[in-house]
Structure 1
Amino acid sequence: MSNLLNLLQLASPTIPIGAYSYSEGLENLIALEIITNKEQLKNWLNTELNHGSIGIETAVMIRGYQSIQKQQIDNLEYWNNWLSASRETSELREQSWQMGKSLLKLLLDLGVTNQIDPPCNYAIAYAIGAATWDIPLRDATLAYLHSWTTNLVTAGIKLIPLGQTHGQQILRDLHDSIRINADRILDLEDHQLFTCNWGLSLASMNHQSQYTRLFRS
């Protein structure tokens, strides 16, 4: 029960790391009317879960978790640097670093040892929390993907806009995709860490110069 409560706290949308201020390019896609309704938002998120960089980010989180369990801090730093180098745009990298820094500070305040020097990616900070609190790896992986999906559904509700019920329907419809991709990512070997994510890259780059925007990325 304590593991479950720790997981709920770690993956909660109320955790103060600033996730709500990021749309990961979604704001630009909506401004360009590429995404205008519930079905298009759901299809975009499903495509990202299946093929996007969230899969690589989650795979690095898994490796960070395993590094903490084995006390391989050099390996933890390697994957942190690897993820920083793989970010498609400066906005996405800054998002990951800012959220990672905020989560590390929070974990330190909650009694979890800070085991990596900044800049720290969010996936690595999450891995430190999950491994230190002995949260089962599959549960941590499911929660990581669910938290990401929830954040972007919330952004879509604000931007399109959609009703809260539509947002919950999207999240519910994506449960199978979250579960299937969690199991897929858990089985990835290091040489399989690649992604086809040019849509997100272009949206993020365009967002940097968007005239008006509500979100930081």
Structure 2
Amino acid sequence: MSEKLLLLLQLCNSSLPLGAYSYSEGLETLVEKKLIIDSQGLKHWLLNELKYGSIRVESAMIVRSYHSYQAKKIEDLLYWNNWFSASRETAELRQQSWQMGKSLLRLINSFEPDNLFLQTVINNLKSSGHYSIVFGVITAHWQIEIENVLLGYLHNWVNNLVNVGVKLIPLGQTEGQKLLLNFNKEITQQLTKILSLKDDELSSCSWGLSLASIQHQQLYSRLFRS
């Protein structure tokens, strides 16, 4: 149990070279337009994204790739990877997911070079594997409990975007940590809902994120890639 927890902590560590720190997921646009100006505005945005936004579907992809890998059904893995590609609202969000997925695949390849089935999965996903799909694959391979997998992934998502807010709004480090602490209960509540999502319930209300992502490239100056 302890070893699996350590593996999960490594995957969710900000020092993992995936490039997550270089993305704002629309927050830079919202701060520039003064739609988010303080910690309460950031909390409101992230809370709505967690409950209704695309991170909900993204997390559901982890569940599906996790179980597909466990069942050794590569065709199901590829189906959900393609499905998720089609569901991405903007090219920027799709490219972010692909880039981080490719980076994680390279790491997995170096971590587990001798597992034949895992190598087959890597070869099938290497051209357009999404981060959430690949995350589900490696955590299933390491046999980390799916509940812990989702908790780690969602906490990492909130942590990354709170750090974006700390830099852009700006917020103090202490204020950022208080905000992050307040999300623990919300993440736990959403965990059960995400695990119970059926295939025909995979939807999100994220038009605000889509518009912010589209407008990001037109900003006068940018700190983040999207």
TM-score of the pair, normalised by structure 1: 0.98
Contact 1:68 1:76 in 2 (8 A): yes
Contact 1:10 1:129 in 2 (8 A): no
Contact 1:91 1:208 in 2 (8 A): no
Corresponding residue for residue 7 of structure 1:
8
Please give the alpha-carbon distance, in whole angstroms, between the structure 1 residues aligned to 2:80 and 2:13: 24
Corresponding residue for residue 20 of structure 1:
21
Corresponding residue for residue 139 of structure 1:
148
Please give the alpha-carbon distance, in whole angstroms, between the structure 1 residues aligned to 2:191 and 2:222: 32
Note the residue ranges of structure 1 that are not aligned, 5 or more in a row.
none
| CA distances 1:14-59 after superposition (whole Å, capped 9, x unpaired) | 1110000000000000000000001110111011000000000000
Corresponding residue for residue 72 of structure 1:
73
Corresponding residue for residue 125 of structure 1:
134
Please give the alpha-carbon distance, in whole angstroms, between the structure 1 residues aligned to 2:107 and 2:177: 28
Corresponding residue for residue 178 of structure 2:
169
Kindly report the root-mean-square deviation, in angstroms, between the aligned alpha carbons of the 2 structures.
0.8
| CA distances 1:54-110 after superposition (whole Å, capped 9, x unpaired) | 000000111000000000100000000000110010000000000000000001111
**How far off its partner does 1:210 sit?**
1.5
| CA distances 1:130-186 after superposition (whole Å, capped 9, x unpaired) | 001100000001111111100000111000011111110111111111111111100
**How far off its partner does 1:11 sit?**
1.2
SS at 2:78 equivalent: helix
Please give the alpha-carbon distance, in whole angstroms, between the structure 1 residues aligned to 2:135 and 2:12: 9
Corresponding residue for residue 151 of structure 1:
160
Corresponding residue for residue 55 of structure 2:
54
Please give the alpha-carbon distance, in whole angstroms, between the structure 1 residues aligned to 2:133 and 2:46: 22
Q: Which runs of 4+ in 1 moved over 6 A?
A: none
Give the fraction of aligned pairs with identical amino acids, expressed as a percent.
Answer: 50
Equivalent residue for 1:199, pick from 201, 208, 219: 208
Amino acid at match of 2:140: A
Contact 1:3 1:135 in 2 (8 A): yes
Matched, 1:185 2:194: yes
Amino acid at match of 1:162: L
**How far off its partner does 1:10 sit?**
1.1
Corresponding residue for residue 37 of structure 1:
38
**How far off its partner does 1:13 sit?**
1.3
Note the residue ranges of structure 2 that are not aligned, 5 or more in a row.
none
**How far off its partner does 1:208 sit?**
2.0
Aligned length: 217
Amino acid at match of 2:93: L
Contact 1:23 1:216 in 2 (8 A): yes
